[in-house]
Structure 1
Amino acid sequence: MEYVIAIFIGLLYAAGVYLVLRRSIVKVILGILVLSNATNLIIFLAGGLKNSAAAFIPEGAQTVDPTTVSDPVPQALILTAIVISLGISAFLLALKYRYFDVTGTHDLDQLKNTDQR
């Protein structure tokens, strides 16, 4: 299963880099979002995939085998990264809206033709 997810992560990185290298500012923003999702998946994969119980230790248990519980740290990191990614995407969309109001174009190559003064 890890191999399938690793191939999917590679495809997401390839699609994200392809979108970032495009001329449209909308495609650049979408590429950044795809790259952040691929990074979240690679952090999740680094934590290991286990078909086991949650990371809670039952009350009264003397010892718990660490191989039977999943690691909560990568999951917490991904949750934090998702929240940060949501804030960044909202900022980028507001920036794109203002960018289009000022310049009148989405194309980054046409930006040098839109000098105001």
Structure 2
Amino acid sequence: MTAPNYVYLFIFALMMIGLYTVISHGNLLKKLIGLSLFQVSVFMLYISVGKVDNGRAPIVRDDAVTVYSNPLPHVLILTAIVVGVATTALGLALAVRIFEAYGSIEESEILERDATGADSGAP
């Protein structure tokens, strides 16, 4: 196994940890943390794919043939980071509102209160 493949193993491990956290935990905050881990691993994957060995910034010069790095993955990830921050902020705001309405952020307790028809206390 060559050295660059370790990066992909780390990214895959981080992705699986994030996915496991989202699926296995009932706590809404833990789910948001898992989602953030998964997003970061996808960002790292795209950035690592966009890296070119001995690549330079894509500024065209008149000298000899130069190998350029592809800037598109980095630009797309910059946009994805902004969307990820907005998604996390919205998720945290929803978690606060759910806590105010149900008194808990545990998924099982929220579903139990809805199933029994108990008043959620929401106005």
- Shared fold (TM-score greater than 0.5)? yes
TM-score, scaled to structure 1: 0.86
Partner of 1:96: 95
Which residue of 57, 64, 87 corresponds with 2:60? 57
Partner of 2:17: 15
Worse-matched range after superposition: 77-86 or 41-50: 41-50
**Contact kept? 1:2, 1:49, Cα under 8 Å:** no
- The one of the two structures with greater contact order (alpha-carbon pairs below 8 A, sep at least 6) is 1
Which residue of 12, 31, 36 corresponds with 1:33? 36
- Give the residue type in structure 1 aligned to 2:93: A
Q: How many pairs align?
A: 113
- Give the residue type in structure 2 aligned to 1:32: L
Aligned-CA RMSD value: 1.8
Identity of aligned residues (%): 27
Deviation at 1:114, TM superposition (A): 2.2
In structure 1, stretches of 5+ residues that fail to align are none
- Give the residue type in structure 2 aligned to 1:24: N
TM-score, scaled to structure 2: 0.82
In structure 2, stretches of 5+ residues that fail to align are none
Q: Deviations along 1:96-115, whole A, 9 cap, x unmatched?
A: 11111111112101112323
- Give the residue type in structure 1 aligned to 2:107: L
